[in-house]
């Protein structure tokens, strides 16, 4: 399948991304595995999730989607090298301090996501929502430190309006920090 560069991330993907927000609430693990297998078998290679998926479902606490994807990767040796994994941080996980885009929370959240996803790196790590309580520079510095540590390959921004994205790009430029390589939900 033909791939296309994904923004300024430095990598290319097939033209369709699988949204994993259904894993762990509207479909079970067995069905999730079957869908992921079919997706990859048809030449696609990018899977999107978030740490909060699917906290809203009764009995769930968040992280269910990442956990299912991680189990799928573990059950299929070599699959991690064939797919790009996208996940997000910033949504309210229902515990004190477990939301937003502070450096401390991002550092904890990425480790939690890596554990659930059963991988040592995330291809594209998104800020899920704007966080008016945290300076943009702090968030960008946190993402940059994750890139330097090899925990993420690229950073992205989700659910920002055009002015918020422009502001974040300006903070990155002025601070000599890397900017989002991809944007979603704008």
User: Which sequence positions are flagged as catalytic?
Assistant: 53
DSSP string computed for 130-153: --TTS-HHHHHHHHHHHHHTTSEE
Question: What is the number of residues in the chain?
Answer: 186
Q: Which residues of 107-130 are buried (b: 16+ CB within 10 A; e: fewer)?
A: eebbebbbebbbbebbbbbbbbbb
104 phi and psi angles, rounded to 5 deg: -60, -45
């Amino acid at each position: 399948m033909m791939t296309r560069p994904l923004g300024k991330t430095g990598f290319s993907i097939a033209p369709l991304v699988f949204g994993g927000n259904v894993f762990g609430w509207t479909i079970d693990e067995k069905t999730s595995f079957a869908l992921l297998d079919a997706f990859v078998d048809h030449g696609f290679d990018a899977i999107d999730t978030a740490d909060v998926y699917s906290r809203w479902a009764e009995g769930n606490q968040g992280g269910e989607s990442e956990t299912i994807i991680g189990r799928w990767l573990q059950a299929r040796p070599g699959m991690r090298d064939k797919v790009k994994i996208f996940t997000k941080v910033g949504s309210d996980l229902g515990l004190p301090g477990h939301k937003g885009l502070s450096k401390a929370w991002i550092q904890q959240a990425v480790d939690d996501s890596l554990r659930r996803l059963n991988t040592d790196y995330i291809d594209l790590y998104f800020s899920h929502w704007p966080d008016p309580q945290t300076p943009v520079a702090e968030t960008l510095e946190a993402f940059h430190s994750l890139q330097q540590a090899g925990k993420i390959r690229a950073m992205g921004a989700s659910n920002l309006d055009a002015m918020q994205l422009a502001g974040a790009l300006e903070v990155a430029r002025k601070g000599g920090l890397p900017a989002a390589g991809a944007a979603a939900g704008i």
